[in-house]
Chains A and B, each alone.
Chain A
Amino acid sequence: MNKIVSLVCGIIFGIGLVISEMINPEKVLGFLNVFRDWDPSLAFVMIGALIVATPIFHLFKNKNKPVFSSNFSIPTNKQLDKKLIIGSIFFGAGWGLIGLCPGPAITSLALLNTSSVVFVVSMFTGFYIALKVN
């Protein structure tokens, strides 16, 4: 069942990215263009997602176990370290350059355009470099 859940959740997430237009880099760049022609739409993507995810997380986090797994796995790292800040700065710079973050980038592979493929391959290279550096 874990596998079916993963596939279905991926599909729902991907459709959400399409409907919200977060899959479109122009839309993302419009959201980041605060000082000129600002498109605030993507703030509503976050609000929509948090309205659902926040209560569900807090209602279920103290239950014994998830429906199809033996235990919940929730990040425990609470350190506010350099890696968190430096990583976020790198990510923000890359995000602002093109308007793609990991979810929309992978989802946009469905559209078979070369730019998405180049971006995703580079992103995976970035994952690999981070692994080697750490």
Chain B
Amino acid sequence: MNIVNFTPVSALSGGLLIGLSVALFFILNGRMIGISGIASNFLISKNNRIENFLFLVGLILGPLIYSLISGQEVNISISSSLILLIIAGVLVGFGTRLSSGCTSGHGISGISRFSLRSIIATITFMLVGILTVLIKGIL
């Protein structure tokens, strides 16, 4: 194992902001943030639909506001075939709904509550993610 591209300061700073968002949403609106929950509830449920929609709009505004303030362009690279994108997207959507949470809902909100369900979910999806990357590297 080699350690590469390690950026602890920006990772920690971004993490603090994410934590702030979760904390504010809880204190002010009374709900724990889980993005798969917010997104799927926006799709299927009338409860809090406008709030859920506005949260998702906020997420999308995030990079635009960041670019405006910092003057830096946000770039990402997704290197994958169309079919793999579709398979992965369906797996992520189906899996997070079946287990009622994703990286934010289980990994942050759930663990901050010391929820055993969320701790087990987070360990499981991390291990399977690591295994998937390992297998992909071999193939």
Contacts and interface: CB of A to CB of B under 8 A. Distances in A.
Interface residues of A, number: 116
A25 to B, nearest CB: 5
A93 B35 contact: no
Contacts, number: 495
Given A18-B63, A127-B43, A89 B125 contact: yes
A89 B66 CA distance: 33
A96 B128 contact: yes
A95 B43 CA distance: 21
B78 A106 contact: no
Interface residues of B, number: 109
Contacts of A6: 25, 29, 50-52, 54-55, 58
Contacts of B115: 75, 78
Contact of A9 (B10, B25, B126): B25
A56 B112 CA distance: 9
Q: What is the interface of chain B mostly: helix, strand, loop, or mixed?
A: helix
A67 B124 CA distance: 35
Contact of B78 (A13, A75, A107, A113): A113
Interface in A95-134: 95-103, 105-111, 113, 115-116, 118-131, 133-134
B12 A87 contact: no
A107 B62 contact: yes
Contacts of A123: 39, 89-90, 92-93
B6 A3 contact: no
Interface of A: 1-3, 5-27, 29-30, 32-54, 56-57, 60-61, 65-69, 71-75, 77-80, 83-103, 105-111, 113, 115-116, 118-131, 133-134
Interface of B: 1-8, 10-33, 35-36, 39-40, 43-44, 50-52, 54-66, 74-80, 82, 84-100, 102-104, 106-113, 115-117, 120-122, 124-134, 136-137
